[in-house]
Amino acid sequence: MKGIFQYKSDHNDPKDGSRWFILQKVNTLATNRVMTENEYNKELQKQVDRAKKDSAKSREKRLNKAEKKPDKLIVNSTQYKRNPDVITEVLERADGVCEKCKKPAPFIRAYDLTPYLEVHHKKPLAEGGEDTVENAIALCPNCHREDHHAVKVTTITVGIIVEEDKVLIVQRKGNNSLPGKWCFPGGKARKGETLERGLRRELYEKFGISIRIDSYFGESIYRTNSGIIRLMSYLVKRTPEDFKINVHKGIDFVKIKDLHKYDFLSAENSIVEKLKEYRHSSLKNQEESL
């Protein structure tokens, strides 16, 4: 048996003189032993994963009786002793601008009123990288976290055009990957373009539709053979013009309740589900306001 155990009680049998003590397995994070930072983060992530799999109901139950003041534990972390001259030189070189996204540091450090950038090693020290100016780069917190934790994704923006009980969907052409599949109209933003702006351009170029973006609707993250797709959807309104189709096979306004009859790209299925819920709740709201 592996894990951490806590002393519970003694056992003492006067007949045969046997003595032992009883241990009880305890939740790792609840104990006060010293963990490494890595162990602690892994353990916490495991518990978050478990909580995610639970229903919202059981989470709510636990939250209601949860301790509001968290326990403490000692975390043991090993640090590299970094060269302050490297940090200073790299920050001077960056001059307040992130060396990856080229945007100015997002805020000023309270401690000394300097632009908040973090000096990161291109090849990590733990993998044999050197603590030198050449191997270091000044990053904004966003780029820094991205470098450590993110995977490469392709972001696609789609417009959800709902009119009465119908929504606009389009069908991919034969020379596309996954021909014949249905999806919501949209595309990839170009470099330097915001997602909203890219969406407006794509809908205009591909379907001749001018749109106004109402609100963000939701996202779907999906793993395909060619990588990870992040689909971001927006509720949009269009100006009443005719559609044209330039690169698609078909375009259609279909009833939201009939969406399941269409063969959608896998990445779009969760948006379809969300749209059905959305339709359901807006119908309910209408009824209530009548």
Instruction: Give the residues lining the site for Zn ion (CB under 5 A).
Output: 98, 100-101, 120, 140, 143
Kindly give the pairing relationship between strand 162-163 and strand 75-76.
unpaired
Which of residues 140 and 168 has its CB atom nearest to Zn ion in the complex?
Answer: 140
Alpha carbon distances (Å) from 136 to 5, 86, 102, 112, 168: 44, 8, 15, 22, 49
- Least distance from Zn ion to the Cβ atom of residue 138, Å: 9
| Angular region, 101: left φ>0, alpha ψ -120 to 50, beta rest | alpha
Residue 88's SS3 state is: helix
How far apart are CB 79 and Zn ion at their closest, in Å? 13
From edge to edge, which strands make up the β-sheet containing 153-160?
Answer: 186-187, 153-160, 227-238, 211-224
138 or 170: whose CB is closer to Zn ion? 138
List the beta strands (DSSP E) in the chain: 4-13, 18-26, 35-36, 75-76, 118-121, 136-139, 153-160, 162-163, 166-172, 182-183, 186-187, 211-224, 227-238, 248-255
**Residue number, 104 or 250, with CB nearest to Zn ion:** 104
- In single-letter form, the type of residue at position 104 comes to P
- The CB-of-126 to Zn ion minimum distance in angstroms stands at 10
Of 106 and 180, nearer to Zn ion (C-beta) is 106
Minimum separation from the CB atom of position 90 to Zn ion (A): 12
CA separation (Å) from 119 to 46, 78, 95? 30, 18, 12
Report the 10 Å Cβ neighbour count for 138: 25
In the complex, minimum distance from the CB of residue 173 to Zn ion, in angstroms, rounded to a whole number: 37
The nearer residue to Zn ion, 26 or 151, going by C-beta atoms, is 151
Q: Which is nearer to Zn ion, 46 or 103 (CB)?
A: 103
Instruction: Give the separation between CA 114 and CA 267, rounded to whole angstroms.
Output: 43
Q: Closer to Zn ion at the Cβ: 53 or 81? A: 81
Least CB distance to Zn ion at residue 119 (A)? 8
CB of 124 to Zn ion, least distance (A): 7
